[in-house]
Amino acid sequence: MGKATGFMEFTREKGKERSPLTRTNDWNEYSAPLADDALRRQGARCMDCGTPFCHMGMELQGTTTGCPIHNLIPEWNDLVYRGQWKEALERLLKTNNFPEFTGRVCPAPCEGSCTLAISDPAVSIKNIERTIIDKGFENGWIKPRIPAKRTGKKIAIIGSGPAGLASADQLNQAGHSVTVYERSDRPGGLLMYGIPNMKLGKDVVERRIKLLTQEGIDFVTNTDVGKDITADELKNKYDAVILCTGAQKQRDLAIEGREANGIHFAMDYLTISTKSFLDSNFQDGNYIDTKDKDVIVIGGGDTGADCVATALRQKCRSVVQFGKHPQLPAARTSDNMWPAYPNIFTLDYAYEEAQMQFGKDPRQYSIQTKKIVKDKSGNVKELHTIQMKKLKDGNGRYYFEEVPGTEKVWPAQYVFIAIGFEGTEQPLLKQFGVHSANNKVKAAYGKFTTNVDGVFAAGDARRGQSLIVWAINEGREVAREVDAFLMGSSVLPSSVHQ
Ligand SMILES: Cc1cc2nc3c(=O)[nH]c(=O)nc-3n(C[C@H](O)[C@H](O)[C@H](O)COP(=O)(O)OP(=O)(O)OC[C@H]3O[C@@H](n4cnc5c(N)ncnc54)[C@H](O)[C@@H]3O)c2cc1C
Ligand code: SF4
């Protein structure tokens, strides 16, 4: 344990963030690490509790509680307090292949279940994680680890998101020859095209891909498996195949006027924006430009928030985000007690920026879009909405009811639909003959085998749209199962609850 009295002496220090007013003038990361001495104080606050809930990593009340990859948080907190950064890095890399991603954009369910958070603000775990890995790269401690021996086994991984990358990393280190197929022009999945640059710098993603390439992993981009190369070709060429295709099939809005010009899926907006930024710093003009426009984002989640932040950087005239649910409470309620993830009101980066720029939070709660109205040229002109009330029926199930007299009209020239994802795309699964249910690949957690021999599935494709940290967990776990399938047993680590 770091400092026995640390939790009484020091308060929580939040990671540094650039000013919300100025950071919307560029696309650089908005967050920055805490200084070393502040991080050491945070490490000192860790109580090294006998049962560290921070790394329990399970679903409680339908949300993730504790770290899903079971990071050895109290151990590296202690090492950071003592200034032993290299040792902290070694501990961190035992459980997390990519701390530079989670240390930046994980929602940190570990902090919600930190024991200190029962009475005080949690230890700044995520910030400590980020700095440990950043120091690893800065000091040259991270070097390519090229496997000494190859097994002669060949594995194809379809999809280069965090699940695909984590399984590739593990299997490559086990000596197998790994090829990752990716439909996009750049590897990384949603880390590259999805999460915007201001949240996760693409140089950080590219640095990791470069390292994995140096270690022997082969990335084949611009290749849509199922079209450019068939499932049968892959099955014949490789000893095992892992489907890490994500869950990017977008949910649509079936309302009057949906076909109007100017209405796009959030993911299309975010993807081409990042691509244009990376290709040409927006000089190619291949992006949706909301400059001087009124923007409405339909959908109250994180994808919608990323659209808000993107529109702000494009200098939109106004931006509003519609959410179906009521505003969250300021503090935990009796049905959301520690150690469950705290479902409380927060002001995320995009909302803080909008508040600074326009003087108000862009979120509208308990609102439903009834119809979209077009102008004579077929362009979106306005959205008609009504307020909704969230009620509970006799069986405790929630339902929504319109509130009469709350109709409203909102001007808009661009609308982005961010109401969630239906699951993974079906044509490829059909080609492989793999079964699915509710648009997710049927493969049990812990085994990851599909109904087709030698074909496995992991990440969002299997569990539905989730978190990077879960994708890393599944990538690690499926790697172990594939290794055992090929070799009879595996020495790769597993953290699956038995
Ligand atoms: C806008 C947005 C923001 C998010 N922000 C966060 C966040 O801040 N923190 C967080 O923890 N999580 C966040 N998430 C969720 C997180 O990104 C995902 O849970 C995670 O990326 C899933 O990883 P994955 O590897 O399973 O799939 P993905 O990252 O979706 O990658 C799947 C890859 O498979 C490729 N692919 C699919 N089909 C084929 C094919 N036939 N041939 C070749 N390639 C194929 C796709 O092109 C894609 O690159 C966000 C999600 C979105 C949409
Ligand atoms: S990966 Fe996420 S949950 Fe795990 S320690 Fe890091 S921030 Fe916390």
Q: Does the structure show a pLDDT above 60 at 269?
A: yes
- Specify the pLDDT at position 498: 42
Main-chain phi, psi angles of 397, to 5 degrees: -90, 140
Residue 328 near residue 447, CB atoms below 8 Å: no
- Give the ligand 1 atom nearest the CA of 165: 25
Shortest-distance Cα residue to atom 47 of ligand 1: 183
Cα–Cα distances in angstroms (integers) from residue 361 to residues 29, 241, 316, 349, 357, in the given order: 21, 46, 15, 11, 10
Q: Kindly report, residue by residue over 340-358, the tens digit of the pLDDT.
A: 999 999 999 999 999 999 9
Q: Could you give the 3-state DSSP secondary structure of residue 5?
A: coil
Burial 206-219 (b: 16+ CB within 10 A, else e): eebbebbeebbbeb
What band does 5 get if pLDDT is binned at 50, 70 and 90? confident
Shortest-distance Cα residue to atom 3 of ligand 2: 67
Residue 78 near residue 87, CB atoms below 8 Å: no
Residues having CB closer than 6 A to ligand 1 are 105-106, 158-164, 181-184, 189-190, 194-195, 199, 224-226, 244-246, 248, 270, 302-303, 306, 428, 459-461, 465-469, 471
Tokens read off for 42: 């945070």
CA 63 – CA 294 distance, rounded (Å): 34
DSSP assignment, residue 68? T
Q: Kindly report, residue by residue over 393-437, the tens digit of the pLDDT.
A: 988 899 999 999 999 999 999 999 999 999 999 999 999 999 999
Q: Does the structure show a pLDDT above 80 at 2?
A: no
| Binding site membership of 469 for ligand 2 (Cβ less than 6 Å) | yes
| Binding site membership of 128 for ligand 2 (Cβ less than 6 Å) | no
How many Å lie between the centroid of ligand 2 and the Cα of residue 272?
29
Cα–Cα distances in angstroms (integers) from residue 314 to residues 117, 165, 347, 441, 482, in the given order: 38, 31, 21, 38, 45
Domains annotated for the chain, with CATH where assigned, are 6-138 (1.10.1060.10), 154-248+422-487 (3.50.50.60), 252-419 (3.50.50.60)
| DSSP codes, 229-256 | B-HHHHHHH-SEEEE-----EEPP--SB
| Binding site membership of 67 for ligand 2 (Cβ less than 6 Å) | yes
State yes or no: cis peptide before 339, omega within 30 of 0: yes
Q: Kindly report, residue by residue over 88-145, the tens digit of the pLDDT.
A: 999 999 999 999 999 999 999 999 999 999 999 999 999 999 999 999 999 999 999 9
Number of CB atoms found within 10 A of residue 151's CB? 15
- Specify the pLDDT at position 399: 93
C-alpha 328: how far from chain center: 21
